[in-house]
Amino acid sequence: MRLIDQLVRRYGQVDLVMHGKATITSYRSFLEHLMALSRINLTMYDLSRCKRDDVFCLRHDVDHSLEQALIMGFIEAEMGLVSSFYLLPPGDYDTTTNYYGQLVNGRIEHSDRLVEGCQILSHLGHEIGLHTDFVQLSVLAGRDMREMLGGEIEFFRSLGISVRGTASHGSTFARRHGFTNYEIFSDREGKAETKNTRTVRIGEKAIELGTIAMSEVGLAYEAYHTPYDVYVSDVGSGFSLSSRSDRENTYTVQDHSAVSLEEMARRAALSQSAVVCLTHPEWWRAGR
């Protein structure tokens, strides 16, 4: 693919730096420390289907920067790694246009950038998923939430890309109205549960949550409900490492402090369960 060749020439040996509330001076070094855990690298989809503990996964919630996500994808592929990228449809951050496309008359017009970017990431061996914010999107579009979700999955299928997983987007809209975006699914924990159903009111609308069966729209998992224990995250441009089973084993860096990759690796190595590393590409910038 010609575009891939162009980007390889442009980004072939580039590195990334995270400088926000916390600082990581090298994405490559960050990945090397994860690789040194001697765990098997899997996509989030593969993690959802296996019961192994000796694995680590790279998860990217792409809120704003598709180009930064592509750089991450190139670096990872160059290092022999695979990861999962969750792409956010337009509708959040007070705009109906983003890298994904634009919302016009209740329909999403997908951008050429999205199509090219997804083909590149898929070609590199990475997984494509959806960063779900479909309650807000359905309110803005005036359309059925399940219909819109199914339409996006079908769109990617038309590109030859199977979307099998989602990652809930932490939108201000969802927080304001008291729900989490993965609540749209009835079987988000791999079970056909009806107890997940509840109603939230948004203006004059009554929105029923927990009514979409993931299995019926072709989805296999929700990222927040995959089997892992250690969670590494750059949320809010800070940095944290936490354990679901051991709340005391938490490593948090804020206020413009440098992350000790050695300390991160040491704490991650203490766990006997899977490690998931979440990044947001907009917090990272290219460097050499």
- Please report the pLDDT score of residue 11 as a whole number: 58
- Please report the pLDDT score of residue 194 as a whole number: 46
CATH number of the domain located at residue range(s) 2-281 in this protein: 3.20.20
Band (165; pLDDT cuts 50, 70, 90): very high
Q: Inter-axis angle of helices 145-158 and 134-141, to 10 degrees?
A: 100
Work out the average pLDDT over 144-150: 96
- Please report the pLDDT score of residue 191 as a whole number: 52
Residue 205: is its pLDDT beyond 60?
A: yes
- Please report the pLDDT score of residue 24 as a whole number: 95
CA count, 13 A, side-chain hemisphere, 281 = 27
Report d(CA 42, CA 162) in Å as an integer.
Answer: 16
Higher pLDDT, 277 or 286: 277
pLDDT digits (tens, 9 = 90+) for 149-159: 999 999 999 99
Question: Long-range CB contacts (< 8 A, 24+ apart) of 47-54?
Answer: 47/226, 47/227, 47/228, 47/274, 47/276, 48/165, 48/220, 48/221, 48/226, 48/227, 49/220, 49/221, 51/227, 52/274, 53/272, 53/273, 53/274, 54/274
pLDDT digits (tens, 9 = 90+) for 251-273: 999 878 899 999 999 999 888 88
Residue 1: is its pLDDT beyond 50?
A: no
- Please report the pLDDT score of residue 249 as a whole number: 73
CA count, 13 A, side-chain hemisphere, 254 = 3
Residue 4: is its pLDDT beyond 70?
A: no
Please give the model's pTM, rounded to 2 decimal places: 0.94
- Please report the pLDDT score of residue 8 as a whole number: 59
How do beta strands 275-279 and 55-62 pair? parallel
Q: Residue 79 CB: number of other CB atoms within 10 A?
A: 13
- Please report the pLDDT score of residue 250 as a whole number: 87
- Please report the pLDDT score of residue 130 as a whole number: 98
Report d(CA 248, CA 205) in Å as an integer.
Answer: 42
Residue 129: is its pLDDT beyond 90?
A: yes
Residue 2: is its pLDDT beyond 60?
A: no
Higher pLDDT, 171 or 9: 171
